[in-house]
Amino acid sequence: MKYNRGMTITTPDPSSTIPAATEYAPDAPDAMVIQSGDLVLLLGADYKRFLVRVQSGHSTHTHLGVFRHDHLIGQLWGGVATSESGHQALVLQPGLADLMKQVKRGTQIIYPKDAAYIVHRLNLRAGSRVIEAGTGSGSLTIALAWAVAPSGLVVTHEVRPDIFKVARDNLERTGLLPYVKMYQTDIEDGFQVGDADALFLDVREPWRYLHHVRRALRPGGFFASLLPTANQVIDLLHGLDEHRFADVAVEELLLRAYKPTPDRFRPDENVVGHTGFLIFARCIARDEEIGRWQRPERRRYEARMRTQAEIEAEAARRAADVAAGGKKYPRMPLPG
């Protein structure tokens, strides 16, 4: 079969027993039908989304009416469920973004836009060990666990007991808790483990914990943080210098959504202007002279500032000489 844009897809074998995507098929392979224990996304025509852990004998109450789980079990993914009051919803396997956005919120959360890039910049993959603080509602923890599972581990720290519980429930609901070790501790006292491949901080004053970050990261490990204000970024940049972090980058992601109406295709007016600045760095050997490893434009700026300070000090010395009735000097040009 020829698909538009020249893509070729194979025509299904008509004798195949595999049912078409949305067909009801009681004999379909297990992975294609909803089982008791599965996490299901109910998507109404109004685009309201409900995350449901399907359990035989249970039901879910929504504004579209009551959905009985026993009616969902055995249905093909991608099909339609009907509530007791006759309203319908699509039955989909939730994606990572659904899991993150559907968390019960006790704090601000990190959204998929930033989380996806954080996972990439922290170099996470199955088997990685990553430390995080604070856990907050656990939205980023979900993305981290998703990336490092099944052989890796997220070690997360949250100081507030009420928020710790919210995050724990959220992680339990997604089924990702086995890949997360949660500590209800203050990172002021340090992190609970070391030898981490990467470490992420989402706390108000991350620069206060960089001495602990150094101890917890393996040499050369990946560090990142998200901060909403520029003032915080500047404090963190000073802290990263002080604690010998190199390859420092500050970035921001802007995401623009479009209205997917083919005849009126245009940008969505609801643009999120700013979520946060993302700061990335690598932990380098403690005895390295950090000035050598700063970015070239930063080194050029620092060199210019040193020269200017030397010229100003010399000008002050000469002015003092002249004022004391000593030597007369020609005018000194200051760097432009």
Ligand X SMILES: C[S@@+](CC[C@H](N)C(=O)[O-])C[C@H]1O[C@@H](n2cnc3c(N)ncnc32)[C@H](O)[C@@H]1O
Which of the 8 DSSP states describes residue 201?
Answer: E
Measure Cα distances from 66 to 69, 81, 301 in Å: 9, 11, 65
Work out which of 23, 84, 188, 195 binds ligand X, going by CB under 6 A. Answer: 188
Residues in the interface with ligand X (CB under 6 A) total 21
Which of the 8 DSSP states describes residue 178?
Answer: G
Work out which of 91, 158, 213, 225 binds ligand X, going by CB under 6 A. Answer: 158
Label residues 131-160 b or e (16+ Cβ within 10 Å = b): bbbbbbbbbbbbbbbbbbbeebbbbbbbbb
User: Residue 126 in contact with residue 150, Cβ under 8 Å?
Assistant: yes
Task: Map residues 106-125 to x or -, x wherever contact with ligand X holds by CB under 6 A.
Answer: -xxxx---------------
Should residue 202 be labelled a site residue for ligand X when binding is judged by CB under 6 A?
yes
Should residue 157 be labelled a site residue for ligand X when binding is judged by CB under 6 A?
yes
Nearby residues of 290 by Cβ (< 8 Å), 6 or more positions away: 241, 244, 245, 246, 284
Should residue 75 be labelled a site residue for ligand X when binding is judged by CB under 6 A?
no
Work out which of 112, 134, 152, 239 binds ligand X, going by CB under 6 A. Answer: 134
Should residue 279 be labelled a site residue for ligand X when binding is judged by CB under 6 A?
no
Should residue 137 be labelled a site residue for ligand X when binding is judged by CB under 6 A?
yes
Minimum Å gap between C-beta 322 and ligand X is 56
Nearby residues of 329 by Cβ (< 8 Å), 6 or more positions away: 318, 321, 322
CB atoms under 10 Å from CB of 67, counted, come to: 25
Per DSSP bridges, beta strands 49-53 and 88-92 are unpaired
Q: How far is it, in rounded angstroms, from Cα 249 to Cα 238? A: 13
Pick out residues in 310-329 that bind ligand X (CB under 6 A).
none
Should residue 192 be labelled a site residue for ligand X when binding is judged by CB under 6 A?
no
Should residue 275 be labelled a site residue for ligand X when binding is judged by CB under 6 A?
no
Minimum Å gap between C-beta 198 and ligand X is 15
Should residue 166 be labelled a site residue for ligand X when binding is judged by CB under 6 A?
no
* Segment interacting with ligand X, rule: CB under 6 A, options 15-23, 64-72, 148-156, 185-193: 185-193
Should residue 159 be labelled a site residue for ligand X when binding is judged by CB under 6 A?
yes
Residues that bind ligand X (CB under 6 A): 107-110, 133-134, 136-140, 157-160, 163, 186-188, 202-203
